[in-house]
Amino acid sequence: MKAQNVALITGSSSGIGFETALHLARNGFKTYASMRNLEKSKNIAQVAKEEKLPLEVVQLDVNDDISVKQAIDKIVAAEDRRIDVLVNNAGYGLLGALEDLSIEEIKAQFETNFFGVIRVTQQVLPIMRKQKSGIIVNISSVGGRMGIPSLSAYHSTKFALEGLSESISYELEPFGIRVVVIEPGFIRTNIMNSSMTAKKAVDPKSPYFSLTQQLERSFKSAMENTSASSPPEEVAKVVLQAVTSESPKLRYTVGNDASSMIRAKTTMSDTEFGGLIKQQFQS
């Protein structure tokens, strides 16, 4: 793709979104790093200023129709009606067994992780169709291809995102628009800080309390084990690879753990794979 193509990244205040926005800007993209709370923009704005990057911060709440429209209107007005790359990254995790989750908590998880993607994508698609080009990158997870205990709501959003992405890839290809799904494994970000635990799941009286606690310990261990997790910069590199490819793949995994887990999922029987998950997350 030519230099100074325009990229919009959601959820850019930290982690994958932060690194992806900087990485695209460092590689010649006019980058709009969006986030719900502009009070969290200090770090990325400072890096962009120090490195003289073509990066601007824009307020965008993926849960708010008006916020999404205003942000995209601002971008296309400044960029000659163009958006070449959309990276749907905003999202969070929700811990808790299904019985411990309220309908409200599950709806909120879907509102951000799934409907937020739809909300932003629907605003960008007419722009990309008119310019007859573009690429939409949806940050999914290895958890969009397999499930583990105490993350049923989160996995549901990522499975939905995978299906959405696959379906619209057929719809949009005739218009010169490509769709890419990025599937990271354990990424060393502040994911546990940006995750929420269901209210009932933190009650020691919950029948699933020990299960949820074990999952949190497993996550913490994985984050501290550099051989079992990857830095967010690795995701950013794969995003750049995808958006600069003449023929991007539909799916890209990030991290050896993601590749090995998906390989196991596709080669093992359900019983065998289930045993692997129990050993890793319930022992």
pLDDT digits (tens, 9 = 90+) for 174-205: 999 999 999 998 887 655 556 888 899 999 99
What pLDDT score does 219 carry?
77
Q: Determine which one of 154, 165, 208, 252 is catalytic.
A: 154
Which of the four pLDDT bands, split at 50, 70 and 90, describes residue 98? Answer: very high
Q: Does the annotation mark 237 as catalytic?
A: no
Q: Does the annotation mark 170 as catalytic?
A: no
Residue 76 lies in a domain: yes
Q: Determine which one of 141, 150, 158, 208 is catalytic.
A: 158
Average pLDDT, the chain: 93
Contact at 8 Å (CB) between 232 and 19?
yes
Range of weakest confidence among 28-37, 112-121, 145-154, 214-223: 214-223
Q: Determine which one of 12, 140, 218, 230 is catalytic.
A: 140
Q: Does the annotation mark 158 as catalytic?
A: yes
Residue 252 lies in a domain: yes
In angstroms, rounded to a whole number, what is the distance separating the alpha carbons of residues 189 and 262?
21
**Strand ranges (DSSP E) for 140-230?**
177-184, 196-197
Domain of 146 in residue numbering reads as 6-281
What pLDDT score does 255 carry?
87
Which tokens sit at 192?
């546990």
What's the predicted TM-score (pTM) here? 0.94
Residue 165 lies in a domain: yes
CATH number at residue 227: 3.40.50.720
Domain count, the chain: 1
Residue 101 lies in a domain: yes
- Backbone torsions φ then ψ of 184, nearest 5 degrees: -75, 155
What pLDDT score does 2 carry?
46
Residue 1 lies in a domain: no
Residue 42 lies in a domain: yes
Residue 69 lies in a domain: yes
pLDDT at residue 1 is higher than 60? no
- List CB contacts of 62: < 8 A, sequence separation 6 or more: 10, 11, 36, 68, 90, 112, 116, 117, 119, 120
